[in-house]
Amino acid sequence: MITAADYRGRFAPTPSGSLHFGSIVAAVGSRTDALAVGGEWHLRIDDLDPRRVAPGAIDAILQCLESLGLTWDGPVVYQSRRHDAHRAAFEQLRRDAPVYRCTCPRSRIARAGLPGIEGLRYPGTCRHGTADPGAPASWRLDVRGDPIEFLDRSLGRYVQDIDAATGDFVLWRADDIPSYHLACAVDDVLDGFTDIVRGADLAASTPRQILVRRWLGAHEPRWMHLPLVRHPSGEKLSKQTLASAVDTTRPATVLCHALAFLGHAPLPDLVGAPVAELWAWAKEHWVPARLPVAPDLSETAG
Ligand SMILES: [Zn+2]
């Protein structure tokens, strides 16, 4: 039984564009899960890489969330302002974990040609030192060891051998930016989130974040990965597949659709009700067991 005292959740969009329906579903699922037990729900903007931040996207995201009644507790956290904390965590990992310098250009990783879940996986070339000491270097974590396993509240047991999935992954990039996995794990630890509820497209990156957390000596949160909204072609909705921004002129409709997608269609007499009323209903009626299953994840979860 999860209670208010020990629930702190968050939504962490990347401001590379406006929010599409898939992101709204993740935000609605995560906030409802927090509200249902009287917990807190926070907002973090994952603006780590300045080249990926679209002009105006942060304001658009904040306005979109507010229009849908997706209000958050406390101040907005910006990942880009946490560089010192990320660096300190990286230094701790360099001291305590099997972290090594890698100077491999993409072409060298391509030549090895090892297939992985996100394209080619890193073959471990620099584990025992690198031949070009002056070259720009990233820093990788040696991931060899037991597979990482976690119990997802929606997917069930999830197991991944990170070495077979992606190989040693980057913690700190050659352009002096922390990797997404390092920053995400560190920020989730710093802010004391107890519950990470997000889209199932991120389930495959969870084992890497768990590994970083373990090396940092942090506790493990509860995980819940929500079903993905798909394009009619079967592809997941993302900025790449040009999913259009949500229509914030009809917030109640968007909210109803998001709840329905999550297996919580409001009763017909609530159609057209104001956003606040829909939230009150969602908070009362949230049952995570009613989430639809994500069939495409059955290979790794079971
Ligand atoms: Zn290398």
pLDDT tier, 132 (very low <50, low <70, confident <90, very high otherwise): confident
- How many Å lie between the centroid of ligand 1 and the Cα of residue 173? 12
Using the mean position of ligand 1's atoms as its centre, give its distance from the Cα of residue 112 in Å: 11
Is the pLDDT score of 164 beyond 60? yes
User: How many Å lie between the centroid of ligand 1 and the Cα of residue 91?
Assistant: 19
Percent of the chain with pLDDT over 70: 91
Ranges 16-20, 129-133, 188-192, 250-254, most confident: 188-192
Q: Averaged over 282-297, what is the pLDDT? A: 83
pLDDT in the model for residue 1? 65
Q: Residue 137 C-alpha to ligand 1 middle, in angstroms? A: 8
* Ligand 1 centroid to residue 104 C-alpha, Å: 4
- Position 97 pLDDT exceeds 50: yes
DSSP 74: S
Question: Average pLDDT of 53-74?
Answer: 96
Q: Which residues pair with 43 in a beta bridge?
A: 11
How confident is the prediction for the chain on average, in pLDDT?
91
- How do residues 215-246 score in pLDDT, each as one tens digit? 999 999 999 999 988 766 666 655 555 456 78
pTM exceeds 0.75: yes
Report the relative pairing of strands 40-45 and 8-11 from DSSP bridges.
Answer: parallel
* CA–CA distance, 23 with 61 (Å, rounded to integer): 10
Token readout for 123 is 């073959």
- Give 102 Cα–ligand 1 centroid separation in angstroms: 4
Residue 144 alpha carbon to ligand 1 centre in Å: 15
pLDDT reported for residue 271: 82
The pLDDT-based confidence of 302 (bands split at 50, 70, 90) is very low
pLDDT at 300 over 60: no
CA of 161 to the centre of ligand 1 (A): 20
Average pLDDT over residues 59-85: 97
Model confidence band, residue 299 (pLDDT cutoffs 50, 70, 90): very low
Q: In terms of DSSP H, where are the helices of 126-274? A: 162-165, 180-190, 206-216, 251-261
Alpha helices in 13-119 (DSSP H): 21-36, 57-67, 83-96, 106-112
CA distance 172 to 183: 9
Residue pair 188/10 in contact (Cβ under 8 Å)? The answer is: yes
pLDDT at 103: 95
Across 188-214, average pLDDT:
97
Distance separating alpha carbons of residues 20 and 242, to the nearest angstrom:
9
Q: Where are the beta strands (DSSP E) in 108-213?
A: 115-116, 119-120, 138-141, 148-152, 156-160, 169-172, 195-199
b/e sequence 63-102, b meaning 16+ C-beta within 10 Å: ebbebbbbebeeeebebbebeebbeebbeebbeebebbbb
Give residue 244 CA to ligand 1 midpoint distance, Å.
38
Q: Choose between 36 and 130: higher pLDDT.
A: 36
If you average pLDDT over residues 151-166, what whole number do you get? 97
Q: How remote is the CA of residue 158 from the centroid of ligand 1, in Å?
A: 29
Beta carbons of 227 and 200 less than 8 angstroms apart: yes
pLDDT, tens digit, 9 for 90 and up, residues 166-198 = 999 999 999 999 999 999 999 999 999 999 999
pLDDT at residue number 248 = 84
What is the 130 CA–ligand 1 centroid distance (Å)? 7
Which residue is associated with the tokens 């995560």? Answer: 30
**What residue has token string 């069939």?**
295
Higher pLDDT, 99 or 135: 99
Q: Look at residue 232 in the predicted model and tell me its pLDDT.
A: 63
